[in-house]
Structure 1
Amino acid sequence: MKNIVILISGSGTNMAAIVQAAEQRQWSDKLGVRVAAVLSNRGDAEGLEFAKNRGIPVVLVEHKSFASREAFDLALQDEIDRFEPALLVLAGFMRILSPAFVQHFHKRLINIHPSLLPAFTGLNTHQRAIDMGCKFAGATVHLVTSELDHGPILAQAVVPVLPMDTAQSLAERVLSQEHLLYPQAIEKFLTA
């Protein structure tokens, strides 16, 4: 069985989309793939309740309990390793990971970013796309490297930027595409 471990920091909507896709598409039976655990750096992450209700083990490793990013990453890495992941999925995990952590999970660590990378790395992607007059925005699934929001692109979804769009309305449309794109990219990655 190939284990997926998902990291979240908040609502966990992409995590929920992945879990639901795994159930609906019977990843366990058809692909030998399962979501083995959900980890968070925040005890108030809403997505933890969804995972618990689905019977998925949840682990909390609060970053504020550690003196440095490296110490947090090492503790997080130890918890993740207990599940022997074939794939580590960042799904709204709002921490910059240390190069050592990224290297440890080399070629089995993926992220989804709410822009058409390489455009608009970092935060405030939707407002920046609107401010630049972009006609299209979207989401990108990519392998994680030690450079923020870079790495080989695995999949993208394109969303038009409408004349009356706000950052919020654009974010909502992009997120709906993320929920479709991320499970598809994971399935393709694990069966390639």
Structure 2
Amino acid sequence: MTIAFFDFDGTITRGDSFALFLKFILGKRFYIKILCNIHILFLYKLGIYNNAKTKQSVLESCLGGMEQITLEQKCQAFCRKLESYCKDSALTKIQWHKEQGHKVVLVSASFEEYLRPLCKKLGIELLATTMEVKNGIVTGNFGHPNCYGVEKVHRIKATYNLCDYTSIYVYGDTRGDKEMLELASKKQGFYRVFY
């Protein structure tokens, strides 16, 4: 059996999907929220804050307190825009894997909530960061650890028995995909390219 793991942001898309999602939800308020978080983003650029801490702060500031039902409606509405943000080359490669009968899994540090409608449309599986919801309200915290770096491997191994697969493809584009790329079979790890 064969399985293919794809990173999302930058690998399948042309850029950062979380920022695109926040712009879609917040409209003009997006820029006000960015200004409110400029110190956080600056510390991230300096390497003082890591990916998880930065994203957690922005999530809490932008979406904390939102009703879950409202979030779900906005995620559904966002699907078309998100699909249009994907690279044709990536979608073609995903389709090729599906035509070969391979299992295809999106593994992303971005949020499951807005990735799920796209994955359902593409007919692929999903492992991603989740938002915590309590009493129907988005708290602004993560529901699970940020699915980045070594956490991607932890999530993969907790969900799939890799010994069941004779061939493993992995596609990524950043440092956050390094550990996942090491899972690939010989000559089946692709960094910033599709062959």
Higher share of residues assigned helix: 2
Same fold (TM over 0.5): no
TM-score w.r.t. the length of structure 1 is 0.39
User: TM (normalized to structure 2)?
Assistant: 0.38
